[in-house]
Structure 1
Amino acid sequence: MNTARTHLVTGAGSGIGAAVATELHARGDELWLLVRSEERATELTERFPRARTVVADLARPDTLEAALSDLPERLDSLLHVAGAVDLAPVAEQRVEQVRHQLDVNLIAPMELTRICLPALRAARGLVLLVNSTSGRVANPAWTAYAASKFGARAFADGLRAEEQSHGVRVSSVFPSRTATPMQAKVHEQEGSAYDPDAFVSAASVAATILHVVDLPEDATIPEVTVRTAPGRG
């Protein structure tokens, strides 16, 4: 598309979020990047000249509104890419582990979306949540993470129905295991060797996200699953 658009992206520091931000920046779109620290803000400003950074902690959803007091009047997309995972069986998990994953993966996206809805409505924009195949099936030790992602799926479904009359589209992308720093952390927690070539790349998931972002206004993809191609690994 020739007309530059405006996007707010979480998780742009690494993995899928970095791949998405790189593509959007390369084509000249305006980026607003939510970051967790001033150090990260400096890093991303150097990586993405012209991007605006907003320092806010997704683990503290109640602080987001104050941090986002200076949003643009129009947002073409709000891309929820950031996430947190901390594996543990229910018998061993601590409430702090559960709360952190719920705050980052579910409550923060809900609150951030609420804050951004006027700008999204003004642009008839898109809310896109990067979910997970764990948002469809809960496996052992993944219970808290899956609960947060099942909740994110329910949030997307309810929001989609609510915002139809305002022209705001809502999509969920469900990647399987993806070659990212988060996946390396997961393998460390599982005690298994990590081979990034065994999984779908962050760039491939980003390409799927951008396809949804770039759909003409007469089309929408409510849900899409991205899986590793057969024969890898």
Structure 2
Amino acid sequence: MSEPDTAKTILVTGAGRGLGRALAAQLTARGDHVIAHARSEGTLDGVPCKSRLIADLATPETLADAVAAAGIDHLDALIHNAGIARVEPIATQTLDWWQQTLAVNLAAPAELTRLLLPALRAARGHVVFVNSGAGLNAGPLWASYAASKFGVRALADALRAEEQGAGVRVTSLYPSHFDTDMQRSVREQANSNYDPERATSVDSIAKAIVDVLNTPADMVINEMRIEPPNPLPIRPKS
């Protein structure tokens, strides 16, 4: 069976698990050509994709070689999904963790976007930043993660303004409390209860992103906030 002419080429970072894997599945199912990114080949076992981009976002200086080797000259969408988080007081967060968080969550998306801008411009493509509620409000224990996500918000806003003339659309997505390994890890670090029934599913978040990509060419959703109807607050267990 031949592939549809409407197939889009879409790069998803952090495609090995959680939201990234759900996105790869949904996009592939509708006939798109997914470029799945992960830090290692093994992480992408079972992930449906057309090709792979293997690169460590903790070392943004290595991304140029990885992108050059991938030979991407036309890119309809770039979805920045990968990220790391540690919930810990500023008093105990080490410099190494600050540097790693800012590298993975902010510097790497900035560098990857820069490297892929020619391909995005050629396609009049779409850049989607999966941000966080922490990118809008910073609470106790969230300093390094929130700082990185506030930076991603600034990156998205500047990119949107700079690339409007080239036809590149930019969307920031702010999901809150959705069911991923990261959310479970955050709850464990904060000694907080977790209830997946009170979290949005990864499939629902993935569908929202696919819907954003489906918006007509004469409009763009600049920002979208998503949360479950009855989220469980992150509070230490009593």
1:24-56 Cα deviation digits (max 9, x unpaired) = 011111011111012224x1xx431x5211110
Per-residue CA deviations over 1:63-111 (Å, capped at 9, x if unaligned) read 0000111332210000001110011111111011111111111000000
Q: Is the 8 A contact 2:120 2:168 kept in 1?
A: yes
Give the whole-Å Cα distance in 1 for the aligned partners of 2:47 and 2:103.
28
Q: TM-score of the superposition, structure 1-length normalised?
A: 0.94
Q: Which deviations, in whole Å up to 9, do the C-alpha atoms of 1:173-216 show, x marking residues without a partner?
A: 00011110111111110112322112111111111111111111
1:65 counterpart residue number: 64
Q: Does 1:5 align with 2:12?
A: no
Q: Quote the offset at 1:130 in angstroms.
A: 0.1
Q: How does 1:152-231 map to 2 (within 5 A)?
A: 152-230=152-230
User: Shift of residue 231 of structure 1?
Assistant: 7.6
Farther-moved stretch of structure 1 (202-211 vs 128-137): 202-211
- Secondary structure, counterpart of 1:145 in structure 2: helix
Aligned residues: 229
Runs of 4+ in 1 over 4 A off after TM superposition: none
Q: RMSD across aligned C-alpha pairs, in angstroms?
A: 1.6
SS at match of 1:212: helix
* CA distance in structure 1 between the partners assigned to 2:15 and 2:43 by the alignment: 10
Q: Does the 8 Å contact 1:61/1:103 carry over to 2?
A: yes
Distance in 1 between the 2:187 and 2:85 partners? 11
Matched residues, percent identical?
47
Q: Does the 8 Å contact 1:184/1:194 carry over to 2?
A: yes
Contact conserved, 2:21 with 2:47, CA < 8 A, in 1?
Answer: no
Structure 2 contact 15–47 (Cα < 8 Å) conserved = no
Indicate whether 1:52 and 2:51 are aligned.
yes
Structure 1 residue ranges without an equivalent (≥5) = none
TM superposition score normalised by structure 2: 0.92
Check conservation: 1:197, 1:232, Cα contact below 8 A: no
Unaligned runs of 5+ in 2: 234-238
Q: CA deviation at 1:2?
A: 6.3
* 2:56 alignment partner, SS class: coil
The 1:231/1:52 distance shift into structure 2, 3 A limit, reads closer
Q: Distance in 2 between matches of 1:168 and 1:71?
A: 20
In 2, the alpha carbon distance for the partners of 1:141 and 1:232 equals 17
Alignment-derived partner of residue 127 in structure 1: 127
Q: Distance in 1 between matches of 2:19 and 2:47?
A: 15
Change (3 A) 1:167 1:93: same
* 1:76-155 alignment, distance < 5 Å: 76-155=76-155
